[in-house]
Amino acid sequence: MRSPALCLPAILLLSLPAAHVFAADKWVHATSAHFDMYTDESEAEVRAALSHLETVRAFFANATSSKDPDGKPVRIIAFHSEGDFYKYKPSEYSLVAAYSLPGPPDTIFAKGRKPPTYEDIFLEYCQAVLDQYAPKLPFWIRAGLAQLYSTLKPGDGSLQLGNPPTRSFTGASNMNMTVLISVDRSGYLESRARIGAAIDSDTSFGKKAPSAAGLKDVEDFQLETWVLTHMVMFGTEYRSKAGQFIAALSNGEETASAFHTVYGRSLQQVLDDMRFYMKQTGVPVLNVKLAAEKPAAPQIQTMTKEEQVNLIAGLGKQSGKKEK
C-alpha cells in the first residue's frame, strides 16, 4: 500500500541486532525482469513465485497501460517465519499477509512464499502501480481494481480474471455507498491502525474501530470495493460502459455524478444492484489467452551475512529509521 505522505513509520529494523532480524541461516536473492526478491524460502518456491508474478504482471501492465512503480523492479522481502513477519509489521497492517512501503524501490513484505500468498503480494503491487499511474481515480476503485487483478490465475496458456479473492471477508450487510465512495487512503490507514490497536489490546480485542471517515471495518471495505468494481467490469448492465465510467472518474468527475451520467443510476440504485450481485451463486470469470512467452528463469544467489546486514540497513533508511 503506497503513500509516502501518509505512510506511518514502518519497521524498527535497525533497533534490533542484525543477527536477530533474519532467523534463518540461508537467505537468497532472486532477480527477475520486474521483481527483486529476498527470502529464506526454498529456491524451487522462489522460482514458482516469480514465474507467477511475472506472468500476471505482464497481463496487468498491458491491460492498464502501466509500468512498475517509478519504472523500477519492486523489491519483495518474504519471511518464512510468521514470527519474523509479525515482528516488524506496523499496526495499520494488522490483519494482512503482505504490506508495502513506498520507494524507490517500492518494497513488499510478505508472510511466506506459498501459492496462497501470491495474491496478497500482487495486490500490493497492483495498488502501488494504480496509486502512482492513476492518482485521479477515487481510492475505492483503485482498491477494487487492485483486488480484481490480484486474483489473476495463470493456466495452460491462459489467464482467468474475475475470481473472488481468497482473502477472508466478514460480509457487508450494512453497506453505505456514501462512505464507500468517500473513503480516502488517510481514512483507510487510520482505520487499519485503530483496528490493529484494538486487536493487540487485552481489553478491547475484536472491537470495531471506526475512523473519522466512517469506515467501520477494513475487510468490509475490501469486500465492497471488490464487489462494486467487479460489477462495473462484469455486470450485465454495467460492463459495456465500464471504460466510459472509468474515464469519467479519471477526468475528475465524482463517483455519484459519474454513475448518474454514464448509467443513469443513483447511488441507492447502484447499492441495490450490488446487493443483488452479491447474491449470485457464482460470478462471471473471463478466460484470456496468453500471448506472452513464458517468463525467463530468475537468477538466484545465496546471500552472505554481510549482504543480509546491508539489506537491513537499506530497509532502515527506507522506513526513516536511524541506526542506534
Over residues 83-110, the pLDDT tens digits come to 777 766 776 676 678 888 887 888 999 9
Residue 105 confidence (pLDDT)? 86
Strands 107-111 and 74-79: parallel
Cα gap 241→295, rounded to integer Å: 34
Sheet strands side by side (includes 28-31): 98-101, 107-111, 74-79, 35-39, 28-31, 299-302
Highest mean pLDDT among 130-139, 179-188, 275-284, 292-301: 130-139
Cα gap 28→304, rounded to integer Å: 9
Highest mean pLDDT among 6-20, 176-190, 256-270, 278-292: 256-270
Residues contacting residue 252 through CB under 8 Å, at least 6 positions apart: 136
Q: Whose grid coordinates read 536511524?
A: 322
Strands 35-39 and 74-79: parallel
Cell of 189: 490507514
Residue 17 confidence (pLDDT)? 39
Question: pLDDT class for 228, splitting at 50, 70, 90?
Answer: very high
Cα gap 86→220, rounded to integer Å: 23
18-318: CATH topology is Neutral Protease; domain 2 (1.10.390)
Question: pLDDT class for 244, splitting at 50, 70, 90?
Answer: very high
For residue 279, pLDDT beyond 80: yes
184 class by beta-carbon count within 10 Å (0-12 exposed, 13-18 middle, 19+ buried): middle
User: What spatial distance separates the first Cα and last Cα of the chain, rounded to whole Å?
Assistant: 27
Q: Whose grid coordinates read 503506497?
A: 2
How many other C-beta atoms lie within 10 A of the C-beta of residue 136? 10
When comparing pLDDT for 135 and 314, which is higher? Answer: 135
Residue 114 confidence (pLDDT)? 74
| Ramachandran category for residue 323: left, alpha or beta (phi over 0 → left; psi -120 to 50 → alpha) | beta
Question: pLDDT class for 8, splitting at 50, 70, 90?
Answer: very low
For residue 299, pLDDT beyond 80: yes
Q: Do 185 and 159 meet the contact criterion of CB atoms below 8 Å apart? A: no
Question: pLDDT class for 15, splitting at 50, 70, 90?
Answer: very low
For residue 222, pLDDT beyond 50: yes
